[in-house]
Amino acid sequence: MPLPKTRLKLTVNALAVLRKRYLKKNERGETIETPEKMFLRVARAVAAADAIYDPKADVKKTEDIFYRMMTSLLFMPNSPTLMNAGRRLGQLAACFVLPVEDSIDSIFEAIKQTAIIHKSGGGTGFSFSRIRPANDVVRTTQGVSSGPVSFMTVFDIATETIKQGGTRRGANMGMLRVDHPDIEQFINAKQMTDKLNNFNISVAITAEFMQALAKGEEYDLINPRNGHKVRSVPAVQIFNQIVEAAWANGEPGIIFLDRINRDNPTPQLGEIEATNPCGEQPLLPYEACNLGSINLSRFVKAGKVDYAGLKKIIHQAVHFLDNVIDINKYPLPQIESMSKANRKIGLGVMGFADMLIQLNIPYNSKDAVKTAEAIMSFISRESKLAAANLAEKRGNFPNYKGSIYDNPKTPLMRNATTTTIAPTGTISIIAGCSSGVEPLFAVSFVRRVMDGSELLEVHPYFKEEAKKAGILTKELMEDVTKNGSIQGIPKIPDSLKKVYVTAMDISPEWHIRLQAAFQKYTDNAVSKTINFPPAASIEDVHKAYLLAYEQGLKGLTIYRYGSRKGQVLSFKKDREKKEIVPRPRPMRTTGITERMRTGCGNLYITINSDEKGICEVFAQIGKAGGCAASQIEAIGRLISLALRSGLKVEAIIRQLSGIRCPSPIWDQGKMILSCPDAVARAIANVTNVTVSLHDKTMGACPDCGGSLESEGGCLVCRSCGFSRCD
């Protein structure tokens, strides 16, 4: 069948991402699908659901509509739908929530179900709040409980083990109520530890806690096993720990639990306790949600928002997402049952920053807030009308009775929720627009391509404006690329500086106010990162958390730039190097040798010091000779050179830790991922340096070496499309 006539314009980045992660490949890894054929595959598979409700439906017409809205880059479904629709796997949902009860059977059933979901390409969210606290009684064994944080590490290891064919990586959200007795251990679970690297974590904050915080009072910690009070603690003590941990490395985030349940569309089914990995999708146990985003950058005409065009695409997108629920091949029967009973969809946006630029509106302005409210209120209203129209033809969602819609004002509703603002990760790269509701990450940056070369990427709108202003030169663009921002460059007019603001140019207050503007008209939640400069204080983060609550947010993720140790900064000026001359090797050293078990055999690591501290490392594998031995020798030489060049021990440990080989092994209760990982651990042991081993830092992309951006709790590379949890 011939392809519909639509001119598909994709950027170099978009093509690279599609080839690597979305297009079909044969057994030799060769791409056998074009982008046009991919979109046709998806459109055809999703349109087929029309025949379920009307055997005489014009499925071909629906297929053409769906194909054109994707190839025109007006709308993109979430990644699993693009990857799997019309293919054997057929799993199209992005996120799931699984229940975790206070029993070994429930915990390990959830781990098994997690593995199945991750294998299918989905992310998972959990509340561990029902698990009894550490050291609590276990009557069946006469022992004591290890607590929720301990069990989270088992989920983490299972996630690390499951691989997803290089397209999507398993991601988890772990949540714990603020009134759980183990809350302090949970808050600090990702500080100075080598665990939970496959988790985002968030504290589920209650209204009672916020009231106690406002009044300077204590609140009760409750044992979930029996509902008894364990002790009372000052709310400010716990709040300060949350703030300090987030300031240190961006975690934990916070979720305002009572606010989420205030908007729970089906309270008759129970309370919502958890969200998906990026926090924007609160879900009941065994619910799934399929998401899609409208590209707002395509809806500006003659300097105004094209509401007529936007209305049309909203109705088409709701139709598309509702169809996805019916054709999806769910990983578990419980998930299929709940998903079809509530039929939640999450229509969101991307390209908002690009839209503001076209409207000549600064992101950090009252006009931007008004625009956000106007756009999202329109999407909310029209998506509800679209869901009502579908309900007239297809019926209400089965759990309608007892839901918030069960009243004379809303007699028809096809979907329990219709709107969600998700991090758009790779789909915004495909659409060639800014990500989600985030501001620009940079006006210009260096993109690393697969052959190792570097290309200068300039925001197309800015390039055109600079050309019109007669200031577009190679030297100017080099200055912009060094900074990522244009604010400190004298040659650039103030009119451009006002509009082309980046994430780091915008104060946290404006980040929060924009998130609140979208949240006001969003059924579910809004995924967004609140950026802080490196010099931001703990008090700055403290104020932001309180502002988030005051502004009506359902959750908050913050990131202080550079706070994750070992971060490779993203702009050229951060990578400029000074000439360093290593000091000579000392004549006399003292040291020790530590044996570490690895998958390659016993590794003997000698660490020597002189009066200036650690200065050299030697390592020898139990097996003599061979490639492994030569590589280990090379590692030792390079470490020694780095140490004598003044590089900090902490930096070396972080670079080596987390490197994985095909044969990880347990040694003295710790997972040794590889020989380099063992060397890192040995150096940490000998020097008493406390670092976060296996820290998956925001920094260099593991696939292409490009810069990673923090987006709503997710790490995204806009060079190659790598995403930890898109």
Report the catalytic residues. Answer: 276, 278, 280
Count of CB atoms situated within 10 Å of the CB of 456? 13
Count of CB atoms situated within 10 Å of the CB of 2? 5
CA distance 346 to 419: 4
Tell me 298's DSSP state: G
Q: Please, what sign has the CA dihedral across residues 29, 34, 38, 44?
A: negative
| Contact in structure between 350 and 424 (CB atoms under 8 Å) | yes
Task: Name residue 200's beta-bridge partners.
Answer: 173
Which distant-in-sequence residues (6+ apart) come within 8 Å of 528 by Cβ?
421, 436, 437, 438, 511, 514, 515, 518, 557, 712
| Contact in structure between 528 and 553 (CB atoms under 8 Å) | no
The CB-side HSE value for 416 (13 A sphere, CA atoms) comes to 32
3-state secondary structure string across 276-296:
CCCCCCEECCCCEEEEEEEEH
Tell me, what amino acid is at 524? N
* Preceding amide of 252 cis, omega within 30: yes
CA distance 41 to 47: 10
| Contact in structure between 105 and 112 (CB atoms under 8 Å) | no
E-state strands within 86-224: 95-97, 123-127, 137-138, 143-144, 172-177, 199-205, 218-222
With residue 388 as reference, give the H or E element that holds it.
Answer: helix 366-394
DSSP string, 234-263: EHHHHHHHHHHHHHHHS--EEEEHHHHHHT
CA distance 197 to 180: 22
CA distance 203 to 186: 8
CA distance 152 to 420: 27
| Contact in structure between 711 and 529 (CB atoms under 8 Å) | yes
Q: Tell how many helices (H) and how many strands (E) occur in the chain.
A: 25, 27
Which distant-in-sequence residues (6+ apart) come within 8 Å of 630 by Cβ?
none
E-state strands within 87-228: 95-97, 123-127, 137-138, 143-144, 172-177, 199-205, 218-222
CA distance 204 to 222: 14
724: exposed, middle or buried (Cβ count in 10 Å: 0-12, 13-18, 19+) = buried
Count of CB atoms situated within 10 Å of the CB of 186? 28
> Of 303, 309, 307, 271, which Cα lies nearest the Cα of 287?
271
Tell me 451's DSSP state: T
> Of 148, 91, 88, which Cα lies nearest the Cα of 118?
91
SS3 label, residue 143: strand
502: exposed, middle or buried (Cβ count in 10 Å: 0-12, 13-18, 19+) = buried
- Residue with tokens 């002189």, as numbered in its chain: 610
CA distance 361 to 224: 49
With residue 539 as reference, give the H or E element that holds it.
Answer: helix 538-550
- Residue with tokens 């989920």, as numbered in its chain: 155
Which distant-in-sequence residues (6+ apart) come within 8 Å of 275 by Cβ?
97, 125, 173, 175, 202, 255, 260, 281, 282, 283, 525, 555
